[in-house]
Structure 1
Amino acid sequence: MAESETRNHRATWDIQAPPLEPRDRIIAAASRCLAAVGLERTSISAIAREARMSRQTVYNHFETKQEIVQEALTMAASAAAERIIAAARMNTSAAGFVVELCLSALREYSLNPAISPVISFVQGDEVRRRILSPHGLATARHFVEPVLSYVPEREHDLDEMTETLLRFVLSLLTLESGVTRSQDALRSYLHRVLVPALGLEPDPAYDGT
């Protein structure tokens, strides 16, 4: 009886997750390729090899490399979003939240090889217009909305705050300067410029260093 129970218990733990659908396998493979070799060296052939399928199978599900890359970046960005928001929520003030939100987003998009190729896309005017479209702003609002737990009276300003912060992030991602030379310099800049631009009170915990 005990041996039978042991076998049943082991069988329960031996259950494996169902295999990914071909389309999901392709997107996951593209994400790994982007992280390993970057955007330029991520090709249909490389994705097919990583997914262990033929190029034709890849083309059966996607027409172009760009289509696959955009899906992979979206998947990676969704995973990064939770980390970005979690880091920002550790602050005790609205000012600290928005500064850390911006810093965390810049770190992820600049240093995470799975999503850093996004920078080359956002430099185009058409992509910027889409990001700042009503749909793009509605998506970005998800990141900024937790600020209302600090300043619930600012709910009517949330859309404007979202657009302002998004414009800061886009600018800092694509235009390097002395402000972006270090995390400390960038943090100081955001406290001096972003916080008042959003109409928030200074962070009492920030001493300017």
Structure 2
Amino acid sequence: MRSHGKILNATLGLIADAGFEGVSIAAVAHRAGVSRQTVYSIFGSREELVSQAMAGLAEEVLGNIRSRLNSVETAVEYVVEFIVAGRAVVRADPILTGLLHARTGNPLFDAGMMGRAKVVARQLLARVVDLDARLEPDLDDIAGIVIRLGLSVIVFDDDEVRDDDDLRRFLTRWLQPALACTS
């Protein structure tokens, strides 16, 4: 495996084991079996290293979520399944689970998170407009609601909606009337 890939894998492993505060250039270099200079020459900074590692993970995760959304037929079902799939992916991945703990250096809790997340959410939710064209003017608001609602479902997971079908019923009960009232 090339140094670039080994370094990214080492970074993700450190995030899974110790959170973002466990990621340093020295720790990544040691874990990847390369020199610190190699890490610096490829990534330039710790921030860029973490950013690229998380971008690669996000791409993989989003592919998994997209595959679960292929069979939906309505905008409400799409939004509901998007949140259910997101929770399932987070539950299955220790790195993503670690993201949901507010620790020093966690990019999920920084001031720019919503702006970055909205760009991704708009792309993933674009099909909602195909399913119901009336929703297009409200897609930014829908993306914001889905991000906030999705994060709350994951962070505040509880027994009331533990089962995916229970979560689908809960989300549908509240999202169906909300999406029907748009523009």
Q: Do the structures match in fold with TM over 0.5?
A: yes
Question: Is residue 117–residue 147 contact of structure 2 (8 Å, CA) maintained in 1?
Answer: no
1:179/1:195 CA distance change after superposition, 3 Å: farther
CA contact (8 A) 1:73 1:115 kept: no
Structure with greater contact order relative to length (CA < 8 Å, sep ≥ 6): 2
TM-score by length of 1: 0.68
| 1:103 has 2:84 as partner | yes
The separation in 1 between residues aligned to 2:103 and 2:132, in whole angstroms, is 30
* Cα distance change of structure 1 residues 33 and 136 upon mapping to structure 2, 3 Å threshold: closer
Determine whether 1:130 maps to 2:120.
no
> Unpaired runs of 5+ in structure 1?
1-18, 201-209
Normalising by structure 2, what TM-score?
0.76
Query: What's the % identity of the aligned pairs?
Result: 24
Q: Go from structure 1 to structure 2 and tell me whether the alpha carbon gap of 1:108 and 1:99 turns closer, same or farther (over 3 Å shift).
A: same
Q: 2:163 matched to which residue of 1? A: 182
CA pair 194-122 structure 1, distance change in 2 beyond 3 A: farther
- The corresponding residue for 1:87 is 68
CA RMSD of aligned residues (A): 3.2
Q: Which has the higher helix share?
A: 2
Q: String of CA shifts for 1:165-187, please: whole Å, max 9, x gaps.
A: 11101212222334343323222
Q: Gaps (5+ residues) in structure 2?
A: none
Q: 1:128 to 1:110 in 2, by over 3 A?
A: farther
Tell me by how many angstroms 1:92 deviates.
2.1
Task: List structure 1 runs of 4+ shifted beyond 4 angstroms.
Answer: 32-35, 40-46, 121-126
Equivalent-residue separation in structure 2 for 1:121 and 1:34 (angstroms): 13
Deviations 1:4-42 (A, max 9, x none): xxxxxxxxxxxxxxx63x44431133224545x453795
